[in-house]
């Protein structure tokens, strides 16, 4: 069984140490050196290539949302589990929009955290049942009206026209919610080739993350399973 390389990101050193000890008991979880701030987190993501990132969104004066944005660029296949004291539905929605796969309160027990870590590696998502209804209502309310789905903003040319066919395929995969590895499998390409196409696509769209590129794509009519 391949180990789940897990990186903990939290600015409370004692909490991180305690959590690392708990997770280290699991035979399939390899706990990597922890990060206490966003800068360390992104450096370690680049150098250690974690499978799962367990992330607090309160990191001193900085928000963990910064880490979520950057993860989409440097290692989009990394599964982010938010473990935080925050609980507002708006924050849950924003975290999932930025690529989080799970949201857990810090009051969760260790066994449940382990189940969620394993679950996100299987493609599962998780959020607290007590905020699920609020989150779904906000997501539904944020959907564009059907008549506006394929309308271009007035006076603006469709930016997707500048993409090559392969870059558009990669973007379609992102719109479909696929990871870079899944996109590579779909297109019979290597993950590195997909990364190159994605970077070129981001440059052409003037997008800073895959999430922003997906937002542009949806604004100009690209929908899941349609293209």
List the CATH number of the domain containing 204.
1.10.10.10
Among 88-97, 104-113, 127-136, 159-168, name the one with the lowest average pLDDT: 127-136
- Note the pLDDT of residue 182: 84
Q: Is residue 92 part of a domain?
A: yes
Would you say residue 47 lies in a domain? yes
133 within a domain of the structure (yes/no): yes
Structure tokens, 52: 């799962």
For residues 123-140, average pLDDT: 77
CA atoms of 65 and 103, how far apart (whole Å): 13
Regarding whether 155 and 103 lie in a shared domain, the answer is no
116, 186: one domain: no
Neighbour count for residue 3 (Cβ, 10 Å): 12
d(CA 92, CA 79) in angstroms, rounded, equals 16
Asked if residue 75 is part of any domain, the answer here is yes
Predicted pLDDT of residue 145: 42
- Residue pair 79/101 in contact (Cβ under 8 Å)? The answer is yes
* One domain for residues 49 and 103: yes
Say what the pLDDT of residue 212 is.
Answer: 79
What's 44's domain CATH number? 3.40.50.2300
Residues 92 and 169 in one domain: no
135 pLDDT more than 80: no
Confidence of residue 216 (pLDDT cuts 50, 70, 90): confident
* 51 and 105 both lie in a single domain: yes
**Does residue 224 form part of some domain?**
no
106/150 same-domain check: no
Q: Does position 176 have pLDDT exceeding 50, yes or no?
A: yes
pLDDT at 142: 58
Domain boundary among 113, 140, 167: 140
Residues 61 and 117 in one domain: yes
pLDDT at site 150: 42
Final residue of a structural domain among 99, 124, 140: 140
CA dihedral over 67, 69, 72, 76, signed as positive or negative: positive
Domain count, the chain: 2
Statement to judge: residues 11 and 75 lie in one domain: yes
Q: Using DSSP, state whether 108 is helix, strand or coil.
A: coil
Domain range spanning residue 162? Answer: 146-219
Tell me: do 107 and 181 sit in the same domain.
Answer: no
Angle at 79 between CA 194 and CA 223, to 5 degrees: 55
17-67 pLDDT per residue, tens = 999 999 999 999 999 999 998 889 989 999 999 999 999 988 876 778 878
CA dihedral over 21, 23, 27, 30, signed as positive or negative: negative
């Amino acid at each position: 069984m391949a180990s789940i390389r897990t990186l903990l990101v939290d600015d409370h050193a004692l909490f991180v140490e305690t959590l690392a000890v708990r997770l280290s008991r699991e035979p399939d979880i390899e706990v990597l050196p922890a990060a206490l701030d966003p800068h360390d987190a992104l450096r370690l993501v680049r150098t250690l290539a974690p499978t799962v990132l367990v992330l607090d969104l309160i990191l001193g004066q900085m928000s963990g949302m910064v880490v979520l944005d950057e993860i989409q660029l440097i290692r989009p296949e990394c599964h982010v589990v938010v473990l935080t004291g925050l609980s507002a539905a708006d924050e849950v929605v924003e975290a999932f929009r930025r690529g989080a796969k799970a949201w857990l309160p810090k009051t969760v027990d260790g066994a449940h955290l382990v189940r969620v870590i394993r679950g996100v590696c299987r493609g599962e998502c998780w959020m607290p049942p007590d905020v699920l209804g609020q989150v779904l209502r906000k997501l539904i309310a944020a959907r564009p009206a059907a008549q506006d789905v394929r309308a271009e903003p007035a006076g603006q040319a469709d930016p997707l026209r500048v993409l090559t066919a392969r870059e558009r395929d990669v973007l379609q995969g992102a719109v479909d919610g696929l990871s870079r590895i899944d996109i590579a499998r779909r297109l019979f390409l290597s993950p590195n080739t997909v990364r190159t196409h994605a970077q070129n696509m981001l440059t052409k769209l003037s997008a800073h993350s895959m999430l922003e590129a997906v937002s542009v794509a949806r604004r100009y009519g690209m929908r899941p399973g349609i293209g």
